Structure 1
Amino acid sequence: MSSKRLIHYGRVVVKIGTSSLIHPKTGKVNLLTIDRLAYTLSALNNQGVQVLLVSSGAIGVGLDRMHMQKRPAAIAEQQALAAIGQLELMNLYSQRFSDYGTQIGQLLLTHDTFDYPVSRQHVFDTIDALLAKNVIPVINENDSVATDEMDHHTTFGDNDQLAAIVATQVGADTLIVLSDIDGLYDRDPNKFSNAHLMTEVEHLSDKVLMGAGGSSTRFGTGGMVTKLRAAERMINSGGQMVLASGADPRVILRILAGERIGTWFGENVLEAVISGN
């Protein structure tokens, strides 16, 4: 079997989780990860690839900025942290992407945006306009207004779902989800030493879904269940999703070169080698 996959990509959505943007032990912002992410997406943008970034991290960065170690329980306090953290996060992104000569634009969305056809169309028209100007859209849920990610179960629930919705709506070929785990395992690798990494998943069985766990850090809101739901949305739309470690975002370049990294979700992910690779 080939060590590479057949990949066609023109539009790519990259989702990075809070666990990749925040040092788990200290709660401080991981500046190296942000810099490598900006470098990687700028490199793709320079190659003519249309890239969209869905970034979590507003509350995590807010916690760091306010020197807090524990996520508060009150919704209003979480929203206040999101308001502070989103500004700081975008400042960091703006600085790092500017270093690589790349322009970014921010879109803060709520589930209401997708509930109404007119507002939904306006959002995707805006995304198309940004991409046409070689601007990378940086998308997050508007946590200072919405409560979807804050202990409430509603339409989205998390940025994994937001990323999958955006990817399917803009016709992205691939969704790459960077997390604090390097792929989907057949059992919890933190509990079982013989856990096996599943490199390809063409469909999501009930067994796979039942074996997924929740969030692994105090900073994030998602978990494996939300990532599998995102993968299911991509598969149903005829696209593919890759789940990989976000420890070094430069892995995106290797993924798009077809290397066997992480877990690939989608039909026909085992096809031919890319010509010339």
Structure 2
Amino acid sequence: MANPFLWHRPVLKLGTSTLTGGTEVLSLAKLADLVEQVAALRAAGLQPVVVSSGAVAAGRQRLNVGGDRKDVTVKQVLAAVGQSRLMHLYDQFFEFHGITTAQVLVTRQDLAERGGYLNARTTLLGLCERGVVPIVNENDVVASDELKLG
């Protein structure tokens, strides 16, 4: 069946508020629904790329802490704990649909430098060509400037 879309590699941004439903913790029901929608895109012959936030919220949930929202170190700790939890959930939900995922962590600096950009691009294209759904997230553990802004 021909692809009815003009594009074949949609990029879907799943922000923290989308993943949490506006709460402080990840909504497993929302995550499952979003994964199902991405799986439907794959079934339609597309190669979706997911750009996901939510590591800090996942860490907050995993450690059951509120924490100072302005403390960069606390955010980095929560992101470190939460990123593995978030990817574990993505992996489980996508596996239900027979889809393999890959974690791609980048910083603005990685993409600002030509070599880093080309490496990321080549990897993303390779993943898509192999039927893997890339889950791209900013590496909050080392991206302290972005955490101060966001």
TM over 0.5: yes
RMSD, aligned α-carbons: 1.6
In structure 2, relative to structure 1, the CA distance for the partners of 1:101 and 1:71 (3 Å cut) is farther
Specify the alignment match of 1:16 in structure 2. 14
Question: Per-residue deviation at 1:103?
Answer: 0.6
Structure 2 distance, partners of 1:42, 1:23, is 21
Question: Per-residue deviation at 1:71?
Answer: 4.1
- The structure with the largest alpha-carbon Rg is 1
Question: Per-residue deviation at 1:111?
Answer: 1.2
CA contact (8 A) 1:63 1:71 kept: no
Question: Per-residue deviation at 1:35?
Answer: 0.5
- Tell me the amino acid that sits aligned with residue 46 of structure 2: V
Structure 2 distance, partners of 1:36, 1:9, is 23
Specify the alignment match of 2:75 in structure 1. 78
The secondary structure found in structure 2 opposite 1:14 is strand
Specify the alignment match of 2:109 in structure 1. 112
Structure 2 distance, partners of 1:138, 1:28, is 19
Structure 1 distance, partners of 2:125, 2:92, is 23
Specify the alignment match of 1:56 in structure 2. 53
Amino-acid identity (%):
33
The secondary structure found in structure 1 opposite 2:147 is coil
Q: How does 1:172-187 map to 2 (within 5 A)?
A: none
Could you say which structure has the higher helix fraction?
2
Determine if the alignment matches structure 1 residue 131 to structure 2 residue 128: yes
Question: Per-residue deviation at 1:70?
Answer: 4.1
Specify the alignment match of 2:62 in structure 1. 65
Q: How many residues align?
A: 147
The secondary structure found in structure 1 opposite 2:81 is helix
1:45-74 superposed Cα distances (whole Å, 9 cap, x missing partner) = 122101000000000111111112344432
The secondary structure found in structure 1 opposite 2:146 is coil
Structure 1, unpaired ranges of 5+: 1-5, 153-220, 222-277
Structure 1 distance, partners of 2:122, 2:22, is 37
TM-score (norm 2): 0.91
TM-score (norm 1): 0.50
Structure 2, unpaired ranges of 5+: none
- Tell me the amino acid that sits aligned with residue 99 of structure 1: F
Structure 2 distance, partners of 1:98, 1:14, is 19
